[in-house]
A = this chain, B = another copy of it.
Amino acid sequence: MGKKKETITIYDVAREAGVSMATVSRVVNGNPNVKPVTRKKVLETIRRMGYRPNAVARGLASKKTTTVGVVIPDISYAFFAELTRGIEDIANMYHYNIILCNSDLKKEKEMQLIEALLEKQVDGLLFLGGEVTEEHREIFSGAQVPIVLAATHDEVDKDRPYVTIDQVQAAKEATGILIREGHKRIGLLGGPLTDPIIGFPRYQGYKEALEEEGIPFNENWVRLGNYRYNSGLEAAKELLGMVDAPTAIFAVNDEMAVGAIHAVQDRGLDVPKDVSVMGFDNIPLASQVRPLLSTVAVPMYDIGAVAMRLLTKYMNDETIEENQVVLPYRLELADSTRLKEL
């Protein structure tokens, strides 16, 4: 493990090949200004000596690391794992590597991570999923590299690039499905209302849908969870235990929605006959449950991919036409609701 063999440098290769460092450097970097014969010779001695370019040295000299930082709430959430896959695929395609950091949505940790990433001279930064506060804006603006938000946006800095979906509208439409099924008592399994990215907007959409259709809004039918299965299960249990229990439940994410389905079933009731359930996100779980979950299909992979692509444009000084992208979502009506057509 980790034998300290003498590291062989570009200089060694140059000497061995009878050329200068500059020439070796050119060959390594695919600079066309090298006579084919020379190139061949260098390439050969590189292989023979087992030379491996030192990207750190290159980074110092060229001021580019071909590495981008990714700050994400929690990779063990299916939603973010999917998104990260999109990021990594595109990064890989453009020959970037990603340094992945979990923030757990802790502001202090986020700051720390961003700082560390910038010290490591990443060529760009992707910030996912959390609220963008004044402190964020401060450190962002002090960065000398492009920063793109994914699955979130900045309420204040209207110029900050981002890629996301229209949360309010999607939640509104999802709720609308339940309304059009004829439900009057529609429960909400929400996230923290202090969460300006997911929790609040989706709650907002729910409320707006009710208002628009003149359906009474009942505070008691709103339960706030933490986006996890168990919180959905428990909250739904409470809802179903009420005398005027809801006949439909809109959960602001799929995990909670599946929890709700099971709460209904555990009570001996049927989904969607007795209670309709609508989710949000369309993580794999949505199609790994019975009945199949109706949900808002969020293009998770694409959000990551598009955000990363946008970042590469910044990093390469390409002209960018649209730096704030709102991706389309789609209602995926399956078996946990009764309406099958939009």
- Please list the residues of chain A having a beta carbon within 8 angstroms of any beta carbon in chain B: 1-5, 7, 50, 52-57, 59-60, 65, 67, 74-76, 78, 81-82, 84-85, 88-89, 92, 97-102, 115-121, 142-147, 161, 229, 255, 258-259, 262, 265-266, 284-285, 287-290, 314
Contact = CB atoms under 8 A, between A and B. Distances in A.
B119 A55 contact: yes
Nearest to A65: B56
Contacts of A121: 54-56
Contacts of A119: 52-55
Contacts of A100: 84, 88, 98-100
Contacts of A285: 285, 288
Contact of A142 (B50, B55, B145, B229): B50
Contacts of A59: 56
Oligomeric state, in number of copies?
A: 2
Contact of A81 (B7, B81, B92): B81
A300 B112 CA distance: 27
A2 B323 CA distance: 14
A57 B55 contact: no
> Which of A1, A142, A285 has most chain B Cβ within 10 Å?
A1
B145 A2 contact: yes
Nearest to A258: B288
B89 A85 contact: no
> Which of A50, A97, A266 has most chain B Cβ within 10 Å?
A97
A98 B97 contact: no
A116 to B, nearest CB: 7
Contacts of A144: 2-5, 7
Contacts of A289: 288-289
A60 B101 CA distance: 23
27 contacts: A1-B161, A4-B144, A50-B142, A52-B115, A52-B118, A52-B119, A53-B119, A54-B121, A55-B119, A56-B56, A56-B120, A56-B121, A60-B60, A75-B75, A75-B88, A76-B82, A76-B84, A85-B102, A88-B101, A97-B101, A100-B100, A229-B288, A258-B288, A259-B288, A262-B288, A262-B290, A290-B290
Contacts of A147: 1
Nearest to A123: B2
